[in-house]
Chains A and B, each alone.
Chain A
Amino acid sequence: MTRFWKRLKIFWEDRRRNPRLFGVHAKPTPRLNIGLAMLPFLLLVGVYLIGSHIRLSANPDDKFLPSVPRIVTTAARLAFSKDPRTGQYLMLQDTVVSLRRMGAGIAAAAATGLFFGLNMGLFPGMNALLRSFVTFISIIPPLAILPILLVVFGVDELAKVMLIFFGTFGTISLSLYFTTVKIPREQITKALTLGASQLQVAYFIVLPQVMPRVIEAARLSLGAAWLFLIAAEAIASRDGLGYRIYLFQRYLLMDAIIPYVLWITFVGFMMDWFLKRFMTWRYPWYFASRES
């Protein structure tokens, strides 16, 4: 017994000097890192499985927490079998429709944001003209103007794209503005002494340097864009991922909602990952020279 206490004491002393888990000095081992990262996921799945088991053993027809095989069957049906009515793969069709809206909205917002932010950051006159207005637009809660957008742009594609556009372009503009004003004055003066015209400074000196920031700003806006997309589809649409989820909810089809949510999360993750990869491939200098 005393040997056990002694070993425990040595172990405790060692952990105190080389903490692995607690405190600001902790250095988790690689294995511990992976384990810790997985823990919350395992907990969530575990809690679901237990809850689902309890409810289903009380009532086999319970819809609230469907069993895993049930979810898998429903997911497979949604993803891999043609809808008898439309002859389409439902999940694929919804994804394509939603991504098209999202892509159009974010691309328009990024392009406008780039143009506004760049010009505001570089030309004091443009800044005086546009900045308060852009700030004003960016503060309007986009969902509050959804009714206006629906009235103005109709219930078709355009209103949904515009909602995403209005929801994200203000923050992208301001982010680009702050990036542009931070470009050292020396770089602009130097370009002028190399013979650049003012337009050349804007589009050949400043633009290439802020391009990675546009993509980064668009990446950060993806979360907000999803929110607006799903909200718009829930309110006025006949297809799309958001529409489908709310449709399922009306019939309490939890076994369909859960795979859809997981799928949306996965698509969002892939978009983010793809943009990040694209940046490191296209703008290798950006990450390396950010510190200096």
Chain B
Amino acid sequence: MRSIEDFRESSVLFLKDVYKAYGKKLVLDNIDLAVSKAELCSLVGPSGCGKSTLFRLILGEERPTAGEVVVDGKPVGFPDVTRGIVYQKYSLYPYLTVLGNIVLGKRLAGGFLGMWGRGQEFYEEAMSYLEAVKLADHKDKFPHQLSGGMQQRVALAQALIMKPKILLMDEPFGALDPGVREHLQIFLLELWERFQMTVFFVTHDLDEAIFVGTRILVLSQYYCDDRGNGEGIPRGSKITFDRPLPRRVHSTVTKDTAESRDLIREIRRAGFDPAYIQHVTKFNLEHPDSFQDLTEEENKG
């Protein structure tokens, strides 16, 4: 059994005792999480459970009310180059070409005066990323000339070229048509095999979550603990389910196996069913990196 301190040292992303409240409403309730390098970690949960809040805490756009958020051994500050990001939209800059969007990060690193060039010295590296996302032919187009799926691929390359410690993705394929979406999921897996990046993938689509991830997390407000159920007790979401996923062959056919259907059923019960209330000590937290640091009120055991 590893100690919590070992997790802090070895994990790319580490959260301990994280709470987030807006006024009196508690959204995140004592979240503990460690994510290892090269993990493709997907997060699901019912709407309003605080997925986006957790995402913004890791990104650094918001501060936790209590607890610590650590990326690569350092407490997170405002958004910076350690965390890459791909949003559902608005990831690309409309005034730059595809190539311009990809070299942007490299140019920004040149400081205020280094920005005057066009970044030609980075074109070769950028082209290798463009080839990785199979868009080399479109390098001189503007974002509005690309389809939604292509835009997201450019956004991926734009983030990857900076080699972030962790890549955060917030419903990145949510606005795409089903066919394109499936294509991009496979595509993300291919990139992951090649670059072995650590990914934190937020989605509301369970199929997508288990197809894409090597690990699945469920964030949910449907659970109970020893604090009781009184009116005055604020309670937010916790990670109620955390399991490794088998890395599968890259074919969408595997999406619909009996095994994955069982898993989805289990996830639905663990996180999405208001009638199915589990005690905090009974959560299915099988993943080797999973740990819980419960307070005494939560577990009087």
Chain A contacts to B: CB under 8 angstroms? 184, 186-187, 189-197, 199-200, 203-205, 208-209, 283-286, 288-289, 292
Q: In chain B, what residue has the closest Cβ to A183?
A: B90
Q: Which of A187, A189, A204 contacts B61 (CB 8 A)?
A: A189
Give 7 closest A-B pairs by Cβ, nearest first: A194-B105, A195-B81, A192-B79, A289-B144, A186-B90, A184-B90, A289-B94
CB of B15 within 8 Å of the partner chain: no
Distance between Cα atoms of A199 and B108 in the complex (Å): 11
27 A-B contacts, Cβ less than 8 Å apart? A184-B90, A186-B87, A187-B93, A190-B91, A192-B79, A192-B80, A193-B80, A193-B85, A194-B81, A194-B104, A194-B108, A194-B162, A195-B80, A196-B108, A197-B112, A200-B108, A200-B112, A200-B115, A203-B112, A204-B115, A208-B93, A208-B95, A283-B95, A285-B94, A286-B94, A288-B145, A289-B144
Residues in B whose Cβ lies below 8 Å from that of A199: 112
Q: Is the CB of A292 within 8 A of B144?
A: yes
Q: How far does the alpha carbon of A195 sit from the alpha carbon of B90 in the complex, in Å? A: 17
Interface of B is mostly: loop
Cβ-defined contact, B93 with A192, below 8 A: no
> Cβ of B45 < 8 Å from any Cβ of A?
no
Please measure, in the bound complex, the distance between the C-alpha atom of A194 and the C-alpha atom of B95, giving whole angstroms: 16
Interface centre among B85, B93, B115, B158 (most CB of A within 10 A): B93
B61 and A194 within 8 A (CB) = no
Residues of B within 8 A of A (CB): 59, 61, 78-81, 83-85, 87, 89-91, 93-95, 104-105, 108-109, 112, 115, 142-145, 158-159, 162, 164
Which residues from chain B contact A184 at a C-beta distance below 8 Å? 90
Number of A-B contacts (CB under 8 A): 76
Q: How far is the CB of B278 from chain A (nearest CB, A)?
A: 35
* Interfacial chain A residues near B142, Cβ < 8 Å: 284-285, 288-289
CB nearest to A187 among chain B residues:
B90
Complex Cα–Cα for A190 and B158 (A): 10
Distance, CA A35 to CA B183, complexed state (A): 53
Instruction: Chain B residues near A190: list those with CB within 8 A.
Output: 85, 87, 90-91
Indicate the member of A191, A199, A200, A203 with the most B CB atoms within 10 Å.
A200
C-alpha spacing A196/B143, complex, angstroms = 20
- Give the Cβ gap from A148 to chain B, nearest Cβ, in Å: 39
Residues of A within 8 A of B115 (CB): 200, 204
* Sample of 15 more A-B contacts, CB < 8 Å, known A285-B94, A289-B94: A190-B87, A190-B90, A193-B79, A193-B83, A193-B164, A194-B158, A195-B80, A195-B81, A195-B105, A196-B108, A197-B112, A285-B142, A286-B95, A288-B144, A292-B144
